[in-house]
Amino acid sequence: MQTLNLIKKSIVISFASIILACGAETLAAIVFIPAFAATWPVVGVNDYSIDLQPDANNKGVEFGVFNGAEINNPSGLYQANNMLSGSFNGLNIEFTIKRVNINNDLDTTFVKFTGKMTPVSDTDHNITKIELNSSSDGQLVLGFD
């Protein structure tokens, strides 16, 4: 029993030493809580954007889920606002867009995007760019100029 208590104390002391040695900024970087709720323009495509909106329970957390919409897909085949849902874990993000054909609502496709978010810095978790890939649609980059 005494050995177990000694191990617990050693772990606590080690963790406290790491915090003191590295500082709070490094610890904040280990647990990354992204801030990405916005309507994101698609880089290089006028009037095409992706709206990503976590609800109140999924803001200010390291991982969670969100909903949103694809707005004005440039192909002209789909509704102006196609719903999407997804998840994030740190800087990793993925979502699936439900694209409804404007001529035949039975012709619906689901397109999955996965990618990484780029923050301002290790301490400023506001996202500046989101780079995504889809096996069917290729690369999609979201960002502000």
Question: Would you state the pLDDT for residue 43?
Answer: 96
Question: Would you state the pLDDT for residue 72?
Answer: 95
Question: Would you state the pLDDT for residue 10?
Answer: 61
As a whole number of angstroms, the distance between CA 59 and CA 141 comes to 22
As a whole number of angstroms, the distance between CA 77 and CA 141 comes to 21
The DSSP string of 68-131 is EEEE--TTSSB-SEEEEEEEEETTEEEEEEEEEBSS-TT-EEEEEEEEEEEES-SS--BEEEEE
Question: Would you state the pLDDT for residue 99?
Answer: 96
Q: Kindly list the domain boundaries of the chain, sorted by start residue.
A: 1-30, 32-143
Which residues of the chain have a pLDDT value below 50?
24-29
pTM across the whole model: 0.76
Question: Would you state the pLDDT for residue 105?
Answer: 81
As a whole number of angstroms, the distance between CA 49 and CA 72 comes to 7
Q: State residue 53 phi and psi, 5-degree precision.
A: -135, 95
Q: Among residues of the chain, what percentage have pLDDT more than 90?
A: 61
Number of Cβ within a 10 Å radius of residue 135:
9
